[in-house]
Amino acid sequence: MTGVVLRRRTPSRKVDKSRRGGSLNANVIISCAVTGAGDTVGKHPAIPVTPRQIAESALEAHAAGAAIVHLHVRDPKTGKAARDQKLYRETVGFIRASGADVVINLTAGMGGDFVFDPSHPASGGPGTDMADASERVAHVEELKPEICTLDCGYLNFGDGAFLATAGVLREMARRVQAAGVKPEIECFELGHIWLAKQLMAEGLIDPPPLFQLCLGIPWGAEATTEAILAMRNHLPAGANWAGFAIGRMQMPFVAQAILLGGHVRVGLEDNIWLDRGVAATNGALVNRAREVVERMGASIATPAEARVRLGLKQQI
């Protein structure tokens, strides 16, 4: 037996590879957040504002490789954030009339903004916009996009706050589920993931769940590797997920999300610059993200591939 080393065999363990570092995503879904609700008009020469502008910018992003376009609307006169159902109807109508095969994702995050004012502590000050669950998803129930967002909890958001109680989220989830729409669960910190898992346990979110990990937004999770890794590791087994960071960290987190097995999001909602001093367009940001994806040896997913991967219901 000289020269033979006997090794003790250990029982094999099943490992969830989606939770291991280095599990690079080989087929990446790019989502483009087209305009957002932030105060970016005036800080950029061409933030999409009108329904036609938003739709055209969404189609530009899709042509560059975005399988999903995430849409807010704005007041055409002021450029400020809006939740007018008519504006959503016009924007979605333009996109659908184009015949483009793109997945539409409508925000349902409006109606939860509270700005504290010492003179009006109960009702809030200028900029406060609070609505019940039915108002927050009325446009989703009417237009039936394939995806809508579900911002899963409270957040100190800049100098204000975003408010969504568990009860409001339960009612929103019920309505979205009844409409046959996939909720994109937007999570800004670990407690939001915990609440989302509770909604799943109550049968209010159908499998497979779709999570969006949002980093760098004051005052949620910071845009760090440690933060996104912790959030990813708390997702339920079998979840689909994407991640993004805002501002100058947008493109680094395209690479970071891919390395951890996720999908990606870019767009003018989160970052208005392509390079230092160079204003971005949605098409340019998607092109840059596509270059990152392909240089990492991965491919970008088509809308058809995204629908299969995410378990979407193409309703119209």
Which CATH number fits the domain that encloses residue 174? 3.20.20.70
Where are any strands of DSSP class E within 47-193? Answer: 68-71, 73-74, 81-82, 103-106, 112-114, 129-130, 147-151, 155-157, 160-162, 182-187
In-domain check, residue 1 = no
Q: What is the mean pLDDT of residues 178-185?
A: 98
Say how many domains are in the chain: 1
In-domain check, residue 179 = yes
User: Above pLDDT 90, what percent of the chain?
Assistant: 81
Cα gap 61→56, rounded to integer Å:
9
In-domain check, residue 6 = no
Q: What is the mean pLDDT of residues 136-151?
A: 97
Q: How confident is the model over 92-130, as pLDDT tens digits?
A: 999 999 999 999 999 999 988 889 889 888 888 888 888
**Separation of CA 65 from chain center:** 17
Cα gap 98→55, rounded to integer Å:
9
In-domain check, residue 227 = yes
CA angle 238, 244, 246 (to 5 degrees): 160
Cα gap 70→267, rounded to integer Å:
9
Q: Given this model, what pLDDT does residue 147 score?
A: 98
Q: How confident is the model over 203-254, as pLDDT tens digits?
A: 999 999 999 999 999 999 999 999 999 999 999 999 999 999 999 999 999 9
What residue has token string 């990492």?
296
Which pTM does this prediction carry?
0.91
In-domain check, residue 37 = yes
In-domain check, residue 3 = no
Q: How confident is the model over 238-295, as pLDDT tens digits?
A: 999 999 999 999 999 999 999 999 999 999 999 999 999 999 999 999 999 999 999 9
DSSP string, 86-101: HHHHHHHHHHHHHT--
As beta bridge partners, residue 227 has none
Predicted confidence band at 315 (pLDDT cuts at 50, 70, 90)? low
Q: Given this model, what pLDDT does residue 283 score?
A: 98
In-domain check, residue 7 = no
Domain that holds residue 279: 24-310
Q: Is the pLDDT of residue 13 over 70?
A: no
